[in-house]
Amino acid sequence: MSTEPQTEQVVDWPLRALLAGLFAAALEVAVARGSQTWSLFLGDAERHTFIGLSVVAGVSGAAVVYAMGLLSARLAREPEARARLLGVLAFAVAAVVLYLLTEGRRVRSSPLRVPAVSLLALLPSVLVMRFGAPVERRARAGGSILLALLFALGAAAATLADATLLRRLYPVFHLALGVTSVLLSGLAAWLLPLPTARLGVTARGQLARVGPVALALVTLLALPVALTQAALAPNLTFVVTEYAGFTGRLLGLTRALGGVQSEGDADGAAGTETASDGGQDAAAVDLRSGLRLTSRNVLLITVDALRADRLQSAAGTTPQLDALAAESAVFSHAYTPTPHTSYALSSLLTGKYLRPVLDLPGAGSEHVALPELLRRYGMRTAAFYPPAIFFVDAHRFEALRDSHFGFEYRKQMFAPAARRVPQLREYLDSIDAERGAPRDVFAWVHLFEPHEPYDPDPRFARGGSAEERYDAEVAAADDAIGELVRLFRRYRPGATVIVTADHGEEFGDHGGLYHGSTLYEEQVRVPLIWSSPGLVRPFVSDAPVELVDIATTLLAALAIPRDARMRGDDLGPLLVHQEGGPAYAFAEVGDARMVTDGHHKAICETASTRCQLYDLQRDPRERRNLAGDQPEVLAQLRDELSRFVASIPRVEALALAGAQAWPEALARAELGDVAVAPDLVPLLGDSRPAVRGGAARLLGRLRYAPALATLARVRDEDADPAVREEAALATLALGDDGSVPLVRVIAQRTDAPLELRRRAALALAERGDASQSATLVAWAADASAEEGARRRAITLLGELRVVSSLPTLIALLEDVRLGPAAATALGAIGERRAVAPLRRKLRAERYLPARAAEAEALAQLGDRGAAPLVRRFLGMEQPLPSGVAILVRLGGLPRASGRGLVVAASPRARGGEWECTDQGCGAQMGASLTLPAAGAPRGPVRVVCAVRGSGAGTLELAGHRLPVVAGESQVVVDATGPVRELSVRTSPGVLVSACAVVPAEEELPPPAPEPQEDAGEPAASAAEASGASESAAPR
């Protein structure tokens, strides 16, 4: 044998390294193509990049294998000596791999560990020493197709085992399989018979020098380029590192050494927003390391209508949550994007502000949700929730409702909180019983307690008032949360637990009840607890965070690329470093939007420039509006709110019109941004009719008077008839009666779009023209129409006193959301035919806003027979709003008696010093009211007084000091009848107009529970759970 590597071998090996690398890459691509991995790439561009990366990695690995072979040839001169050298190396490598694989706690301390590892490591060593020299001689003699095929099959088996066995377990095992695949591919190429070109001595020498150098240069140059290309696509990086064999290990090693950082890497700027697309300061991008979850198991618990102030309260309502909070990160200023369950939970699970997104023109119904992404990357997902979560604006959430947010398994049914515990246990048992299936779980449980009606489990009873019954339901939910957390962590030790709420609940804090009506703290601030044992230390953050941040943070912590349209911030750096965090939080409901920096908070109307400003640190109950005192603070917050509104269409990637982008000003105007109105005027001259028409429509909606003259010219001269029609509607809205004839024509055109005819009828009605009232009646009755538009049509039917609308309005009394508007319209119309249905509805009415509207309508209709109902509802824990004033109008307090009195009209009942006006009377020290004995109710009674305040003040009534808000309101004290005398004293600016003494009444019982439909499905198989190429909705 020659003592030097043969020149033919040196010339030959670059070609064989190339073949080996191509074969290793082909194996890797074939396995990916035949599994779910292929579907995880976002299009062919990522697939092509993966193929190129695999080729470069394979060739690089094979080049290293051949280089080691050449090195061994220089170190040992004979084949047998080389076999012994490689056998020793094989023993050392095998021993290290086997030793690391036996690090488990049961094997680690065994006295047999080292002997067993040594014995097993001898096997590959002996094989190399025994067969190394014969294999080398066969290769030098021309190769062997049979041996090449045998090694190729071994490489294929190693690649397949790497992709299928013990996924995400034993990294050393998978690294060894990846290296083995490349090594066996190299041996297969080495043994493959190839035709030998006849070259001269000089040519062979040149190739011997140039070939290896050229391959080395190509490899060293191509590898960094390929890795950099991969880093530009975070999804590609994730899929390759998680699912590819040798290439994934190489990319993961490179990233771990700091050579590559994905653009979507949570360690960098993933999840952050810039001022241009999220309202956050671009200079505040957080580059600190984020959260990395070692356990890919997550339990998300959301509680319906849970106020933030119930957490760690003095009343001790939530001991389980308080215990969890003591070992977790707690966010004291977390906000819902909209205080309605449907919007809040959908926004949480999609990471998007869905209410403004769905307000965009042409907004799509498909939204990528967190469970869909988690399933795509191999996690099991399960949801336990009631069907009522889509109640508000249900038609907007049909796609999310039908897809169940992409959850693989769901238990959709009404169920008490305690019942969710065995449901979760049964699910975990079912997936743990599956052999070889993925076990990482994301489970979401939504507890319907404490949503009204407050009907608590007797075990948690705390009293009979509405707030006490609410707290009892909070306690029931808290007890279930403790059980759910313990159960989940028993099955999945170290799991992350997140607890929050969809919105809060109001108990008269700002004159209202329930939720979905204001943006004050009691409705929009929610608890948020994040517990990741061993990773997140206990602390409290006052950074303004949002429900939309949860999905983004989870995806970053799991190293899963998020959807490009997700808006939440990655809270990982804040969770790890306990400082920093988002700069602003946003919310909206109705015609109002909110922004807060955690210190100050602005609430602004979308249809005007009016705003409120509160200092949350000094005035957490939001009693003092500082808008006039701190204009610079308000201006800054309004700027942030405007940037936020502008970012919605930009991030959502509004559709393009031709080759030009749809103007951002139009999208912002669609969202009600009044500040953008001047920017719409130039668009009336745009070359695209759709843009001109949209600008005209929105200028009318925003009531931008300076555009009237331009709009009139467009109405009269624009070449497009559709644009002229939009301009006619806009000019009429701005007060130009010259447009009335044209708008009437539009409203009567049967070939015009229904939406246009409806808007024309609405515009005429707003000018007092009832000629198209039939269109408004049909619009009000259309359950598929937008709720706000239906409410406006109902209001106008009342204002125009359209008698023909009575059947529709009476039917709408049963609509929970539109019923109050229908009652108000019936009262305005003044038809006595509405008395019986209104009284029938009021008799069983459980909701205060509806009660007030129905009672007011009956008062407008002069129905004195409604007075007993008004007294009854005044006697309940939450008295009928404006009930005393309504009772006076119905003649229920004709003179002073034991049942009450009108203060100004009862001089004989007033004792002490009083000062009266037409609006009521103010009482000084020592003043009192003496009630005659006639008609006085006995037993528990409630004294309810109608008061008026020029500002915030107080009323001392029967020894009770009661707060009085600005404007008209009621105050109430409990007493025992008969009540004969009431001590009264008012602060300056407070007047008492009338008082009623009524028997204390129990609240109406809640309705019968809805059927508990079990919509649960068996846990899907592992293949189904990971089939990302299929629809995310379970079949």
Q: Convert the pLDDT of each residue in 184-240 to its tens digit.
A: 888 888 888 876 544 444 544 554 555 555 666 555 666 666 656 555 555 667 677
Phi, psi of 102 (to 5 degrees): -105, 35
Quick one: angle between helices 835-843 and 819-829, nearest 10? 150
Sign of CA dihedral 699, 705, 710, 714: positive
Residue 620 or residue 176, greater confidence: 620
Q: Are 970 and 882 in contact (CB under 8 A)?
A: yes
Q: Is the peptide bond before 450 cis (omega within 30 degrees of 0)?
A: yes
Distance in angstroms (rounded) separating the CA atoms of residues 544 and 574: 12
Q: What is the mean pLDDT of residues 594-607?
A: 90
**Which regions of 314-422 does DSSP assign to beta strands (E)?**
329-331, 334-335, 380-385, 409-412
Mean pLDDT of the chain: 83
Q: What pLDDT does residue 337 have?
A: 95
Whether 920 shows a pLDDT value over 70: the answer reads: yes
pLDDT digits (tens, 9 = 90+) for 870-900: 999 999 988 999 999 999 999 999 999 999 9
Whether residue 177 contacts residue 162, with contact meaning beta carbons closer than 8 Å, is answered with: yes
Largest CA distance in the chain: 133
CB 407 within 8 A of CB 1033: no
- Convert 572-585 to b/e letters by CB count within 10 Å (16 or more is b): bbbbbeeeebbbbb
Q: Evaluate whether 991 touches 917 at the Cβ level (below 8 Å).
A: yes
Output the pLDDT for position 671: 73
List b or e across 289-299, with b for residues whose CB sees 16 or more CB atoms inside 10 angstroms: ebbebebbbbb
Q: DSSP assignment of 34-67, as one string?
A: TSTHHHHSSSHHHHHHHHHHHHHHHHHHHHHHHH
- Give yes or no for a contact between 262 and 298, defined as CB atoms under 8 angstroms apart: no
CA 343 to chain centre: 8
Which residue in 403, 479, 402 sits closest to 447, CA to CA?
479
Contacts 24+ apart (CB under 8 A), 885-892: 885/946, 885/968, 885/993, 885/994, 886/855, 886/856, 886/859, 887/994, 887/996, 888/946, 888/993, 888/994, 889/859, 890/858, 890/859, 890/862, 890/863, 890/864, 890/866, 891/864, 891/867, 892/867, 892/996
Residue 704 pLDDT: 87
**Dist. CA 1015–CA 466, nearest whole Å:** 32
Q: How far apart are CA 710 and CA 731, in angstroms?
A: 9
Give the up-direction half-sphere exposure of residue 415: CA atoms within 13 A in the CB hemisphere.
20
| Of the candidate ranges 215-224, 515-524, 551-560, 845-854, the one whose mean pLDDT is the lowest | 215-224
Question: What are the Cα distances from residue 388, in Å, to 518, 752, 762?
Answer: 21, 37, 32
Q: Is the pLDDT of residue 288 over 60?
A: no
| CA distance linking residue 586 with residue 1023, whole number of Å | 40
**CA 58 to CA 229: how far, in whole Å?**
17
3-state secondary structure of 1034: coil
Residue 797: other Cβ atoms inside 10 A: 29
Q: Residue 930 in 3-state DSSP? A: strand
* Domains of the chain with CATH codes: 7-78+140-256 (no CATH), 289-389+417-579 (3.40.720.10)
Q: Name the residue with higher pLDDT: 463 or 153.
A: 153
Element (H or E) spanning 497, and its range?
A: strand 496-501
What are the DSSP calls for 813-854, one per residue?
TT-TTTHHHHHHHHHHHT-GGGHHHHHHHHHT---HHHHHHH
Structure tokens at 608: 């005007």
pLDDT above 90 (res 657): no
Lowest-pLDDT range of 75-79, 445-449, 765-769, 969-973:
75-79
Confidence band for 42, pLDDT divided at 50, 70 and 90: low
Higher pLDDT, residue 447 or 396: 447
> Residue 87 is encoded by which pair of tokens?
């056998």
Q: What is the pLDDT of residues 446-490, one digit of tens each?
A: 999 888 888 888 888 888 888 888 999 999 999 999 999 999 999
Average pLDDT value for residue range 509-522 = 84
Nearest to 531 by CA among 768, 708, 277, 297: 297
Convert the pLDDT of each residue in 49-74 to its tens digit.
Answer: 888 878 877 777 777 777 777 777 77
pLDDT of 566 reads: 84
Of residues 329 and 702, more confidence is placed in 329
- Check if the beta carbon of residue 89 is closer than 8 Å to that of residue 47: no
Q: Which residue has the tokens 């009832």?
A: 770
Any idea what DSSP says for residue 663? P
* The predicted structure's pLDDT at residue 277: 41
* Full DSSP string of 979-1018: P-EEEEEE-TTEEEEEEEEEE--PPPPPPPPPP------P
What is d(CA 110, CA 104) in angstroms, rounded to the nearest whole number?
10
Q: Which two tokens stand for residue 947?
A: 């008061």
Task: Of 574-583, 600-609, 641-650, 897-906, give the lowest mean pLDDT range.
Answer: 641-650
The pLDDT > 70 percentage for the chain reads: 84
Can you tell me the mean pLDDT for 23-41? 81
Whole-number Å distance between alpha carbons of 528 and 696: 44
Contacts of 302 by beta carbon, 8 Å cutoff, 6+ apart: 345, 348, 444, 445, 446, 447, 499, 500, 501, 502
Q: Distance (Å, rounded) from C-alpha 318 to C-alpha 325?
A: 10
Query: What is the rounded CA–CA span in Å between residue 445 and residue 612?
Result: 36
Structure-derived torsion over alpha carbons of residues 562, 564, 567, 572, reported in degrees to the nearest 10: 30
Average pLDDT of span 721-750: 92
3 state SS of 939? strand
SS (H, E, C) 744-789: HHHHHCCCCCHHHHHHHHHHHHHCCCCCCHHHHHHHHHCCCCCHHH
Distance CA 467, CA 485 (A): 27
Residue 10, pLDDT score: 47
Cα–Cα–Cα angle for 111, 114, 116, rounded to 5 degrees: 95
Assess contact for 944 and 995: CB atoms under 8 A.
Answer: yes
Q: Are 990 and 960 in contact (CB under 8 A)?
A: no
- Mutual angle of helices 246-256 and 201-231, in 10-degree steps: 70
Q: Which two tokens stand for residue 960?
A: 């009770």
